Amino acid sequence: MSYLFNPPPVQSLAIRGKSDRFPINRLFFVGRNYHAHAVEMGKPVDKSVERPFYFTKAPQTLVDSGSTVAYPAETQNYHFEMEMVIAIGKAGFRVSQDKAHEVIYGYAAGLDMTRRDLQLVARDKGRPWDLGKDVEHSSVCTEIVPMEGKILDQGAIALEVNGETKQSSDLNKLIWNVREIIADLSLFYHLQPGDLIYTGTPEGVNAVVPGDKITGRVAGVADVELTVGAAQ
Ligand code: MN
């Protein structure tokens, strides 16, 4: 078998303490999963009558923590979103909440970088979010930290830009927690090893400009960094 041109490389992340890398299958993102962020976006969530929703990004949008990425094209409002990331290590379909831990390989700290101006236009016109969310180099992620079978349901999550705190919250404020997300998402998708789930961002999202340095962390997991380079 030969291809007309070289196929795209498999995306992967380092694994803390291991020489093997974690190959990436799909990137899932939970929308509006902290109340204070949902409110700042003008879309409060009533969990009693709503279910979580998701969007995806291409695995090719993945970029290692510590990178410098160009300020992306066609936006005047490029936002950071600090998120805890679940790394799936086993296949699962219709996983019950009480078995959700069984599919977890580990966790990471990530940034869901967003062309907010384009996302809001899409949202308000009822269009897909791709131009706002599926942005090249927008899925920033640290190494995967192995924590097989462990549920993370509390711990600080925070982000600074140029050393100034912009986001500071706790995983215990997730509207849909890790068990609930895995149970719900696996109703729609056959989860596979290599899937990452970005679990949503707390309040305080805002714009960055070229030259800004983003630092963030999920306590007990990892620290994430990104430098915003010049516009292309
Ligand atoms: Mn997000």
Residue 198 lies in a domain: yes
Q: How far is the CA of 116 from the centre of ligand 1 (A)?
A: 11
Q: Is residue 1 part of a domain?
A: no
pLDDT at 20 over 90: yes
Looking at residue 232, its pLDDT comes to: 85
How many domains does the chain fold into?
1
Residue 118, domain member (yes or no): yes
Q: How far is the CA of 90 from the centre of ligand 1 (A)?
A: 24
Protein residues near ligand 1, an ion, with CB under 5 A: 81, 112, 201
What is the CA(198)–ligand 1 centre distance, in A? 7
CB 82 within 8 A of CB 202: yes
Report the CATH number that the domain containing residue 182 is assigned in CATH: 3.90.850.10
pTM above 0.95, yes or no: yes
| Domain annotation covers residue 83 | yes
| Span from the CA of 9 to the centroid of ligand 1 (angstroms) | 25
Cβ burial of 203 (10 Å; 0-12, 13-18, 19+) is middle
| pLDDT at residue 1, rounded to an integer | 86
In a domain, 204, yes or no: yes
| Residue pair 107/145 in contact by the 8 Å Cβ criterion | yes
Domain annotation covers residue 71: yes
- Domain membership of residue 2 (yes or no) is no
Whether 117 is covered by a domain: the verdict is yes
Q: Which domain holds residue 118?
A: 12-231
110-149 residue pLDDT tens:
999 999 999 999 999 999 999 999 999 999 999 999 999 9
Percent above pLDDT 70 for the chain: 100
